[in-house]
Amino acid sequence: MTGNTMEKIGKYKVIEVLGKGAMGIVYKALDPDINREVAVKTVHFEMAIEGAQQEEVQSRFMREAQAAGRLTHPNIVMIYDVGREGDMTYIVMQCIEGRSLAKIIGSGERVAPDYIVRLMTQVCQALDYAHQKGIVHRDIKPANILIDHSGNPFLADFGVARMDTSTVTQTGTVMGTPSYMSPEQVMGKRIDKRSDIFSLGVILFELLSGKRPFDGESITTVMYRIVHESPRSLRDMLKDVPPGFDFIVSKALAKDPEQRYQSCLEMAYDLSNVATLPTSTMTMETGPFIQEAERDKKKPKRKTGLIAAAAVVVLVAAAAAVYFLFLGGGGGKTGTSGGTGGAKQTKQTAQQAVGAKDTQKEQGTSADTLDPKIVEKVQIIKESFDKQLFTDTVKLSDELLKESPNNPAALDYLAKAKAKIRGAAVAPLVAEGIATFNRGDFTKCQQIMQDVLRQDPNNKDAQNYIRFSDEKLSIQEIRQIIERQRKAEMENDLPLLLSDIGPAAVAADREISIKEVFNNYGDIYSRILSDIDIKFRDRDHADAKFAYMLGGVYKKTGVKTSIEEGPRAWSFQRQGKTWKIVNFYVE
């Protein structure tokens, strides 16, 4: 080992350095007991905290790391162990092969909007799970989101995370990464899960635009902008992404926590429906956040009225643009761009024409859709949808379809409004299913989510949690098979040993080898010496690795002998509703 790289941390043998931070180093290491690669993060509190507080903070940090270790979610890096060596505290975590989101952003790679939706939805679900367990991360940033080779995100580093009721961070002490902090975190105020949601908004903005919403040459400048300034609208920066992203970002980045999403699942829902969202949300606060937050709490109705008034202005402008294109565009009823008037239009009129062309594209180009009365009715439908009056949208769309069959805009709004209604109807059921999953009742979770899909076939949460539950149940079953095989070896139960095997040829080979053991050894004993590491190649194929020891008394000599010891790796395949062993091999 070179430089400041250690050779051993606790029982863990260091392999290489994975990264360095302000308070410590992250190593790739080997757990010798179970021959598993892990990530070990060291933390040196004396580098950030002085005096007598070190011991108190270190002890609290240990307890909270242990609490975070109870988090078990498909998109959260598992914590296996925590320990101390002198002044150094270390956390042993699941080792994710891949890259951090920070490296992906830093590389300048173009990230597709569809993948951004999938990525951020999974992160939202993972963070919501932690919040339900009472844990606020406090340092959500791209460097703490790891992406494996399949593109799946893993939320990492609860190193500065804390229980909601913890006091590890003293009042006025700022922890976290400045560019991704919430206003309340910058000001040293009490924070909750909505602070993490603000950080998610920063990351979403950066993924879409390639720039941070609050940047500056110094930390002081960054912090000032977080508290006092609003970022540029994504619509002004990007022309090729769904405008609904602006709605999500502006809501997540609201200065006042009361105006943000109140849970990560709310944000995940909007991400999954980004194409159907309005183009903007509340007017973002400007000026000192402290004064505005207090004023907003005293005058909620006035603020709501201003937002509604702004929405009316946007709708009136949109209606004017439609009128210009179809009735006043210098070309008669067809709305084409002929004549000399179009060449002389002002900049404002040109912008209205661009918006109207988008409306024309949305509504189709048939003579029916260009009829002024039809255009007006479509605009009314659009307004009802944007106001989230989805029942009215359905009614108005049905009425228009009687008059204008197959009208593309009416069909589109009808489908989107029905989807919103279905989503709202099943939302309590979805929440129940997620809570059931978090309690570990995966079969019940699947049943609930199947009910959701019967009512809302495209519900992403239901689809995801059915998959999560299926994997959890499969892991349980595979572990039970391995344990059943172990006991059957000790009890000389050949039929039971063979019952878990799928292919006849594999069963025949297993029968020959195990009969040889039974014929030559008595008092057989077997032990599993490590955690059983199960990885899925796809939904129906999995590999299980574990350390194993098989021994017995050799009948010819009466001496207790080791028959087999070392790693085992078995392949499993789902056959019908059960899993079967399809291959035995030893690495």
Catalytic positions? 139
The two structure tokens encoding residue 374? 């039809």
Say if CB 107 and CB 240 are below 8 A apart. Answer: no
Cα distance between residue 189 and residue 348, in whole Å:
44
Cα distance between residue 490 and residue 520, in whole Å:
14
Cα distance between residue 160 and residue 166, in whole Å:
11
The two structure tokens encoding residue 404? 């204008």
Cα distance between residue 186 and residue 224, in whole Å:
9
551: left (phi over 0), alpha (psi -120 to 50) or beta: beta
Question: Which residue in this structure is represented by tokens 């360095």?
Answer: 20
Its sign, for the CA torsion 483, 487, 490, 493, is negative
Residues 6+ apart with CB under 8 A from 404: 368, 369, 371, 374, 410
Q: Which of 202, 37, 189, 63 is closest to 134 using CA atoms? A: 63
Cα distance between residue 128 and residue 342, in whole Å:
52
Element housing 542 (H / E): strand 541-554
Cα distance between residue 503 and residue 580, in whole Å:
9
Say if CB 183 and CB 220 are below 8 A apart. Answer: no
Q: How far is CA 321 from CA 93, 239, 499, 521, in A?
A: 56, 19, 72, 88
Cα distance between residue 581 and residue 542, in whole Å:
10
Cα distance between residue 283 and residue 370, in whole Å:
34
